[in-house]
Structure 1
Amino acid sequence: MLNTLNTLLRTNAETEILEFKTAGQNFDKNKLGKYFSALSNEANLANKECAWLIFGIDDEHHISGTKITDSTLNEYKQEIANNTSPTSNFINTHRVNIEGKQVLMLQIPPAPKGMPVDWKGHCYGRNGSSLSALNNQERERIRLQNYAPDWGEEVVERATIDDLSIEAISEARKQFKVKNPTLEIEKWDDIKFLNKAKITSQGKITNTAILLLGKPESEHLISPAVGKITWILKDRDNIEKDYEHFGCPLLLSVNQVYAKIRNLKYRYLPEGTLFPDEVDQFDPFIIREALNNCIAHQDYTLGGKINLVEREDGILTFVNSGAFIPGYVEKVVAADAPETYYRNPFLTSAMVGLGMIDTIGSGIKKMFVLQKNKFFPLPSYDLDNNQVKVKIIGKVVDVGYARRLAQSKNELTLQDIILLDKVAKGTPLLNAEIKMLRSKKLIEGRKPNFHISSFIAESIGEKPSYINHKGIDNEYCQKMILDFLRKFGSGNRKDFEEMLLDKLPDVLNPQQKRNKVRNNLQSLKKQKKISPFGKLWKMSNSKN
């Protein structure tokens, strides 16, 4: 990204799609939203792939650097997703070191064709380098643009019903009958059935028909789109061991991919009656929902394939091309209603009719609940690089977290569990999330090293686990140093590290633990209890 930044710096001045801001410690969220709306709309009008908002550089191109943290950046992303319409967010964010200072590059997508992006109900634009309301002429230019065609509904002119798989059509009939038991579909010929199921359009073969029901050799008819799922098996070290490609018809390929996954039994460690003896690593619904979501929401204009990576240590990762339309997954889980906009509405409608995806859009929420009920980590969503990557872990990773769920099924809301899941994974928390968890006494520790609170630990018999997180306090740490010096007369820092590192909190990384030892030595020095003698430390009343 350094080359891109240098190219942007060579621009003589800020433009409608480029803005530099100093933003040393933070940046006003409301102003950020206005700039996002303006730059997104101007990128659309200029027919550009993106716009740029650069933090850590002023408009004279002086590099001052920024100290905006990942946690603060996550708050910005959530704010943008919450208050833009249609829902939008950064394509990506990049940190670049230049002249010994850190610069933050925020990559902003163009507004969708026909839909200017507003911030809190107002559309913004740029007048040269100045922020302003999007004028009426520009607003109409965007609104009068042709909407991007629905890829799934596009007719494949060269295709006929002979390009569809007889076996796939038969399976589609069975699934459609399950969803519509009162219809006499047995009396319909294939053309009528495909029209009624909204797979074809007025008897013509669509991209959706080829993708879901097409013969394997028919895939080229939807080129440059790719109707393919690749399954990859990797070992614990992420080394590839096996793979296989599955093409059209995807209605049948989904079952073939599912059959490749080694869904082993997960056996819990004996905990009295706390856990069941064994469960499937992956609930079948979760596998099918994640895979079918990839098919339904893939951006087929990008020409990518769907990937499913299975790791032998119990992790599945699903990847599809295209941005996550709702903006962020917490919004979907918390919503009481489905999204009003889909990337592939014709394809999505057909998949609903065939029972491949949930009718009311609650499949993602159900995935979270199923993982929660087994005390497994919740699904993780990575939405960077214009793709959606979903990771499902089929095992207990944090025993304290699992026990907390097991003992508190009726106490914690799904939102509470999502945030505790973040703590267990070491994911940065937003300030509002920290405040909420602290108010419920669910976490302790200093940002970013949070852990399960002592209040929680005591209520579930997790005192030893809690102590491992909390570790010994400074007073006891200093007492051990003094006891060591009284017994042995002197010691260097390595001696104290060997004595203390494994007793310090697990939430600290090795360097933070070494820093804690150093800080306690300095504290004892300031108290005039110990003194340095070269590389050794001795009691202050000791003689040279």
Structure 2
Amino acid sequence: MEFKEAKNGYDFTKLGKYFSALCNEANLKHHPSAWLVFGVNDQRQVVGSNFRLARKDLDSLKEEIANKTTNRITFIEIHEVAHAQGRVLLLEIPAAPKGLPVAYDGHYYGRDGEALSPLNLEEIERIRAQSTVEDWSAVVVPNASLVDLDEEALVVARRNFKSKFPDKAAEVDGWDDLTFLNKAKLTIKGRITRTALLLLGREEAEHFLLPAEAKIRWLLKDHLGNDRDYALFGMPLLLAVDKVYAKIRNLKYRYIREGTLFPDEIDQYAPYSIREALNNCIAHQDYTLAGRINVIEREESLSFTNKGSFVPGDVRRVVMEDAPEEHYRNRFLATAMFNLKMVDTAGGGIRKLFLFQRQRFFPMPDYDLSGNRVQLTLTGKVLDMDYARMLASDGALALQDIMALDKVQKRLALTADEEKLLKAKTLIEGRKPNFFIAKSLAQQTGQKARYSKNRAFDKQYYLDLICKAVKEHGSLARKDIDELLWNKLPDWMDERQRKIKVGNLIAELRRHQKIVNQGSDTKPSWALVTNHPV
């Protein structure tokens, strides 16, 4: 635990360093989490903190920290306590994952007593050495045997193996089951492993894996978020993948035809994307956490969730480098799934998900790496037809450009590097965080009107419009001024931002003594100041 007064705020860089230090210290001390406490002094007296008073600013802190950590690890939760002596913040920090020391802005931190310091080499190596501990998926199950494997799954496994390695097809037919399992890396010297049970085991053999859950839950939700249907699939997971796939309603998506840019209709999701996402959940699940894999189907999206941190650390790096990973949580399982044609350990699987979405002009996949889990969401529709038209007409856009522009489409915050990239290529305009597609792209893709709507009029235009309307009608209520300006404000503004903007314009006219409130504070009635020219 680390206590800080933070009475009037706290330096963000120092906060990030403490986050890294406490992550690593919790790992080394074998604690599930650590705590950074604001509003309490070193004598453990509550003094109160004004650090980020608005809840939305506290919530945004999670992403800000994640953008600077090597594994995008962030706070488990930020708790606010209204203490009699002042506001206290409890920032709950997860322990660094096994084998992965957590850096902030490229540097590893720890603590020497009460002092913040670089994590020393011995501590870094001690954390990294955890990755060499036993591979859960490679453990032999002493009492399991061939009779605990599903016959149909064995047939499918042989077929997939021959498809993966066609040069061995004739040879495979002459192997007995144990020889095949050894060659496919499902067993070790004829002994049944947890991997063999996960992929090929009979459902009644699941007790061998307890407390781990070898189950996939499919859940269907309606547009209101209510559960409409569900199903639970257990071992053998090799067959469960097809059963889950059969449950998903991969409907046809029909485009509004625009010249020859778009096909008439297309599947909402590429079949490859569904299978890749599902098999990745199986391969990378942390089975020691005893959680289920979840597939949540909504009207226009699919979400896949598995327990455990995202071992590669950064999705963008995986997509852009397009290289095989150096570390796997379940290496034995990943190898077996590769041999059975379930996953591609040669790299490129995640990148393909992005490319398939690009081909459809759909939003890029969304990854949520918070809460010691990985959630991938695929959107099965065009969110913004103008944005899709831009992708279709500009084939020169690189994938990293599209990934960054996708954030602009979704109104998500850009990192400093993404903002620099898009501005250098003149792809966006506007002020942080309210960026929009640049004028050059707008003109190329038929978005001239949209571009103009995103750009605000000069402030003087709004001020003159209010004064003119007040003169014409004698006085205006606040709702009248709202109605006057609402549709003339930029499209990127939400309702709250528009109200603030209108309020600021009224306040400026009042400060310059151009209008005066002749009503009350609760029901204002704005009129021109006598003899003031308009």
TM-score (norm 2): 0.89
How far off its partner does 1:370 sit?
A: 0.9
> Which amino acid in the other structure matches residue 486 of structure 1?
K
> Structure 1's 170 and 41: CA in aligned 2 closer, same or farther, altered over 3 A?
same
**Rounded Cα–Cα distance in structure 2 between residues aligned with 1:146 and 1:491:** 69
Where does residue 164 of structure 1 map in the other structure? 149
3-state SS in 1 of match to 2:232 = strand
Give the secondary structure class of the aligned counterpart of 1:337: coil
1:508 partner letter: M
- 1:174 maps onto 2:159 in alignment: yes
Please say if 1:92 is aligned against 2:90: no
Q: Is the aligned partner of 1:486 residue 2:456?
A: no
**SS of the counterpart of 2:280?**
helix
Q: Please say which of residues 40-49 and 484-493 is displaced more in the overlay.
A: 40-49
Residue 185 to residue 23, structure 1, CA distance change in 2 (3 Å): farther
The structural deviation recorded for 1:452 is 1.8
Q: For 2:327 and 2:129, how far apart are their aligned partners in 1?
A: 19
- Following superposition, the deviation at residue 485 of structure 1 comes to 2.1
CA shift, 1:458, in A, is: 2.0
Mapped partners of 2:461, 2:120: distance in 1: 66
Query: Aligned in 2, Cα 1:97/1:466: closer, same or farther, shift over 3 Å?
Result: farther
Aligned pairs, how many?
518
| Superposed CA offset, 1:292-323 (max 9, x none) | 01000011111111111111x21111111111
Q: Identity of aligned pairs, percent?
A: 47
Once the 2 structures are TM-superposed, how far is the Cα of residue 225 of structure 1 from its aligned partner?
Answer: 0.9
Show the counterpart of 2:482: 497
- Aligned residue number for residue 420 of structure 1: 405
Q: Give, in angstroms, the shift of residue 247 of structure 1.
A: 1.0
1:367 partner amino acid: L
Shift of the 59–250 alpha-carbon distance from structure 1 to 2, 3 Å rule, reads same
- Distance in 1, matches of 2:515 and 2:16, equals 54
> What does 1:117-128 align with in structure 2 at a 5 Å threshold?
124-128=109-113
The answer for the alignment partner of 1:6 in structure 2 is: none
Greater shift, 444-453 or 393-402, is seen at 444-453
Q: CA deviation at 1:22?
A: 3.2
Is residue 362 of structure 2 the alignment partner of residue 379 of structure 1?
A: no
- Map residues 457-472 of structure 1 onto 2, 5 A cutoff: 457-472=442-457
CA shift at 1:118, angstroms? 6.6
Q: 2:499 aligns with which of 514, 519, 533?
A: 514
Paired with 1:342 and 1:252, the residues of 2 have a C-alpha distance of 23
Q: Which residue of 1 aligns with 2:230?
A: 243
1:279 aligned onto 2:279: no
The RMSD of aligned alpha carbons is: 2.8
Q: Does 1:540 align with 2:529?
A: yes
Answer whether contact 2:98 2:131 (CA < 8 A) is retained. no
Residue aligned with 2:342, SS: coil
Q: How does 1:225-264 map to 2 (within 5 A)?
A: 225-264=212-251
1:323-402 correspondence runs (5 A): 323-402=309-388
Q: CA–CA distance in 1 between the matches of 2:226 and 2:282?
A: 26
- Who is 1:321 aligned against? 307
The answer to whether the Cα contact below 8 Å between 1:66 and 1:104 also exists between their aligned partners in 2 is no
Quote how far apart the aligned CAs of 1:74 are: 3.1
SS at 1:80 equivalent:
coil
**Structure-1 separation of matches of 2:341 and 2:149:** 19
Deviation (angstroms), 1:198: 0.4
CA distance in 2, matches of 1:102, 1:429: 30
**C-alpha displacement at 1:110, in angstroms?**
4.0
Match of 2:48 in 1: 63
Distance 1:120-1:542 versus aligned 2 partners, 3 A rule: closer
Q: Secondary structure at the match of 2:160?
A: helix
1: distance between equivalents of 2:228 and 2:90? 38
Q: 1:140 to 1:456 in 2, by over 3 A?
A: closer
Give the structure 1 partner of residue 508 of structure 2: 523
| Secondary structure class of the residue paired with 1:131 | strand
Query: 1:122 & 1:478 partners in 2: Cα distance?
Result: 50
SS in 1 for 2:187: coil
Which residue number corresponds to residue 45 of structure 1? 28
How far 1:145 sits from its partner (Å)?
Answer: 6.7
Q: Against the structure 1 CA distance between its residues 524 and 326, is the aligned structure 2 distance closer, same or farther, given a 3 Å change threshold?
A: same
The whole-number CA distance in structure 2 between the counterparts of 1:259 and 1:70 is 38
**Unmatched runs of 5 consecutive residues or more in structure 1:** 1-16, 82-86
Which deviates the most, 154-163 or 42-51?
42-51
**Taking structure 1 as reference, are residues 237 and 140 closer, same or farther at Cα in structure 2, changes over 3 Å only?**
closer
Alignment of structure 1 residues 146-165 onto 2, 5 Å: 147-165=132-150
> 1:92, 1:384 within 8 Å by CA — same for their partners in 2?
yes
Greater shift, 513-522 or 159-168, is seen at: 513-522
**Which letter does structure 1 place at the counterpart of 2:273?**
I
Whether the 8 Å CA contact 1:351–1:357 is kept in 2: the answer is yes
2:184 paired residue number: 197
Match among 62, 68, 72 for residue 79 of structure 1: 68
Amino acid paired to 1:444:
E
| Whole-angstrom CA distance in 2 between matches of 1:466 and 1:129 | 53
Q: Residue 283 and residue 342 in structure 1: after superposition, are their counterparts in 2 closer, same or farther (change >3 A)?
A: same
Q: Tell me, in whole angstroms, the C-alpha distance in 2 between the residues paired with 1:232 and 1:121.
A: 39
Q: Give the unaligned 5+ runs of structure 2.
A: none
Give distance in 1, aligned partners of 2:509 and 2:440.
31
The 1:69/1:400 distance shift into structure 2, 3 A limit, reads farther
8 Å CA contact 2:286–2:307 kept in 1: the answer is yes
Cα distance change, pair 246–315 in 1 and its aligned pair in 2 (3 A): same
Q: One-letter code of the match for 2:363?
A: P
Give CA deviations for 1:493-525 in whole Å, capped at 9, x if unaligned: 111112222332232121221121222222333
Secondary structure at the residue paired with 1:348?
helix
> Structure 2: how far apart are the matches of 1:136 and 1:376?
45
Structure 1 contact 228–247 (Cα < 8 Å) conserved: yes
Q: 2-side partners of 1:536 and 1:56: how far apart?
A: 43
Do structure 1's residue 302 and structure 2's residue 285 form an aligned pair? no
> What CA deviation, in whole Å up to 9, does each residue of 1:324-353 have, x standing for no partner?
112231121122422211111000111111
Change (3 A) 1:23 1:272: farther
Question: What residue number does 2:414 align with?
Answer: 429
Distance 1:463 1:122 in 2: 45
